[in-house]
Structure 1
């Protein structure tokens, strides 16, 4: 099933009427670590590496929701 973040986590992502301090839960994520020019070939290669597991995860989630 698709995760509807706008519906599930409204307090985190949508603007509130009044300013408030939020406690943000831990979320799993991928991260690139380093420094330098984001227009470099090294950065492009690193971002390309992130696409592969991200797309596999998306495909797996779609297959689970369709069964």
Structure 2
């Protein structure tokens, strides 16, 4: 079996878990990460829409295909 290196994010999360945080803290961390990555995704989508001149009509048409 091939070993895989952990990413910097995975290592940081392992450090957090090693302190045995409370369940409410883990839920807060999950929510924080979800908001962060959701925000990044939204920024990337908006950039792509702008760069490729995609209109609202294009998006509506794709949704209805």
Q: TM-score range by the shorter chain?
A: 0.3 to 0.5
TM-score by length of 2: 0.46
Higher relative contact order (CA 8 A, sep 6+): 1
TM-score by length of 1: 0.45
